[in-house]
Structure 1
């Protein structure tokens, strides 16, 4: 199996992305809740106009979702120097250089947009980088993911209190960390905040780490270029430090993520159940009233 995956990883990226488009449609029409959730998330969002506009976006999303799966093969399995070369350009990288020159730690906030897996690897080619890691259930996939992500100067830490402490320590050493801001927070670790027109239970970790360390925070997205040409990494500075109030900070984070999604709407992970309510968490209205 591993030999076959490594063989597929050698295929040209344009061919892999072409296969990914086909895979996206196969998965979309397969039984299960995947397609219904993707449809609901697209049509209930504020990103497209109801009707033909949302249908056009959905068709693009289906193809891009398949590309997101197959491109993991070259990103995780090709030699590291070849992976870094898949990044064809950057915008806003000077903001990261300025933060390092000022002696600040860096928080890279990377939503599930485009090839978000390559951002960490590209940064870690030149500088230390710490990110949280939750192993999948299957041991083979867990080993593949760990080997693919932990390269260069990248360090992976668990998604628990020890991982939070490791990220805090990295920021105090004036290094960089990566956080996925658009995952559903676990019970007690988040607040309800608006996202794409609907409430979403949002993590509060970014604001806490920034407040404790004075780190500079940036949104990052790896745009998937057309026709398999590679990727372009975009860096967007936060307009202002995050407020101390948890709901206000979560709202600011979600607005930043939404801005990135609106730039690259077809490349967002619309199949993720972003608006679900974790067990033990009251609904948004009850939470806000409390």
Structure 2
């Protein structure tokens, strides 16, 4: 994978294969959307049967989170997830390069909730999670409602370039993932900022807390961010519907948040995300090692 090193030219021969892939997907964006969805589902199924490494991660996650389902049901859910990921690749292409007139239909529900939370110039932390519909729903959202967001730059220079040009540049403000001061500044200035705390990492703002009843490294920073910025925490989720349309839902701002117990606040957020996952479990990003680095006494479930 290409380095983040800015001294590497975007025209370096080492990046030509990635540029070829970008060109290909830009051409595929010209197909009718229904054809792209069929291709995405096909590629997802193909990858499911060919690439075993990530399939093991998905299988472990589903075993832990849905023990009430039979083995056959979890297998079917894993396959549906891969199909959703395949469609998500084409959704990313449409989100970055698709003209407005070729985008699939969508509905935004709950604008009034964000407006109420933002009264008086108050910032809003748009609380969400990593679903496979992230990119295309982000395009729908930012094209209709001003929104900033946190972003992590990909390793590949070409993908980072295209992501910044077509996604990050639309976010006002666009804030690097580790820039807490920039996030607080944006919220204090009244911005609405996309924020997904569902992929925990080791830090002073992390704790081992239940996710689907299973101990998981969990981000507890949401309470601190809300407290320091004075921003409302407004849940938002986007789903791919059975009829091919998309539904973006902005829920009412969390009441009595934050409290003086950051762990309890994080558990409340985990439960909120779990409820949304249950609505379309195949659309959640199960390829992430959600239950890694949990400390002593808890096994490495991915080994």
Question: What does 1:86-97 correspond to in 2, within 5 Å?
Answer: 86=104, 88-97=106-115
Q: CA deviation at 1:99?
A: 1.6
In the superposition, relative to structure 1, how do residues 126 and 223 fare at CA in structure 2: closer, same or farther (>3 Å)? closer
**Does the CA-based 8 Å contact 1:184-1:275 persist in structure 2?**
no
Aligned length: 277
Deviations 1:190-218 (A, max 9, x none): 11111012111111222111111221112
SS in structure 1 of the partner of residue 251 of structure 2:
strand
Q: Deviation of residue 167 (structure 1)?
A: 1.3
Equivalence for 2:85: 65
Counterpart position of 1:140: 158
Equivalent in the alignment of 1:75: 95
Partner residue, 2:117: 99
Q: Relative to 1, partners in 2 of residues 1:122 and 1:240: Cα closer, same or farther, differing over 3 Å?
A: farther
The gaps in structure 2 that reach 5 residues or longer are 1-19, 299-303
Q: Is the 8 A contact 1:107 1:179 kept in 2?
A: yes
User: Do the aligned partners of residues 43 and 30 (structure 1) sit closer, same or farther apart at CA in structure 2, a change above 3 Å counting?
Assistant: same
Alignment-derived partner of residue 230 in structure 1: 245
Question: Is residue 54 of structure 1 aligned with residue 74 of structure 2?
Answer: yes
1:204 correspondence with 2:220:
yes
CA spacing shift, 1:267–1:186, aligned 2, 3 Å:
same
Cα displacement (A) at 1:27: 1.5
The DSSP-based 3-state class of the residue aligned with 1:4 is helix
8 Å Cα contact 1:261/1:268 also seen in 2: yes
Any idea what SS the aligned residue of 2:44 has?
A: helix
Alignment of 1:282 with 2:295, yes or no, is yes
Compared CA separation, residues 243 and 283, structure 1 to 2 (3 A): farther
Report the equivalent of 2:268.
252
TM-aligned CA distance change 1:284 to 1:253, over 3 Å? farther
CA distance in 1, matches of 2:226, 2:255: 14
What is the CA RMSD across the aligned residues, in angstroms? 2.3
Q: Distance in 1 between matches of 2:169 and 2:137?
A: 12
Counterpart in the other structure of 1:288 = none
Structure 2: distance between partners of 1:246 and 1:196: 18
Separation (CA, whole Å) in 2 of partners of 1:213 and 1:87: 35
In structure 2, the CA distance between the partners of 1:284 and 1:90, relative to structure 1 (3 Å rule), is farther
Q: Deviations over 1:119-153 (max 9, x none)?
A: 44333335542222211111111111112212445
Match of 1:17 among 37, 44, 69: 37
2:61 aligned residue (38, 41, 55): 41
Structure 1 stretches of 4+ with a deviation exceeding 4 A read none
Contact (CA 8 Å) 1:58, 1:266: kept in 2 or not? yes
DSSP 3-state at the match of 2:173: strand
Tell me, in whole angstroms, the C-alpha distance in 1 between the residues paired with 2:187 and 2:149.
12
TM-score, normalised to structure 1's length?
Answer: 0.86
**Conserved in 2, the CA contact under 8 Å of 1:200 and 1:274?**
yes
Deviates more, 1:130-139 or 1:99-108: 99-108
1:216–1:284 CA distance, 2 compared to 1 (3 A): farther
SS of residue matched to 2:249: strand
